[in-house]
Chains A and B, each alone.
Chain A
């Protein structure tokens, strides 16, 4: 079975600063990896996903993530954070066989200060 860890429960950054949210996974083979964002009172929205190929993945809203097999990581980055990025971010790991086999992390809450 796979697992995923988001070590940071809460992160605060200044508007305009760069952002990196950490995600580590545990899975024996090449995993499927996802980042979702949840704005207050909303459902989850997919930011980006990695299934195979180029390990640097571009997503929506200016986010990117890099799959590093040697570190079992899939960290989310954004070069310049906007106040509207304040939300909760979830990393998830899955494998072939369908989305019912996806495991979600516990989330990182991002606060953006002026």
Chain B
């Protein structure tokens, strides 16, 4: 079947604008993860969904970041009032469950000017 898909693949925005990033997990995968990869950094864990619930949102960098998941499938990561330091690659992964192998999407490359 299809893998994890993310859209858009690239996004250029102006400082202060809101952006919405989308993740379509593999069908049937109950767990979904968002990560951020900044230049020269490892993957920074942002948030995890089990079904539609996010048990811990403390990984989100600030209150400008929010995420939701609906129908146990698609997830959106929203960044409000973007700042230049938000520029990064945002990766989504899904798995059959907790501690199962994560399958990563291609990422969304965000550039905030």
B and A form one assembly: no
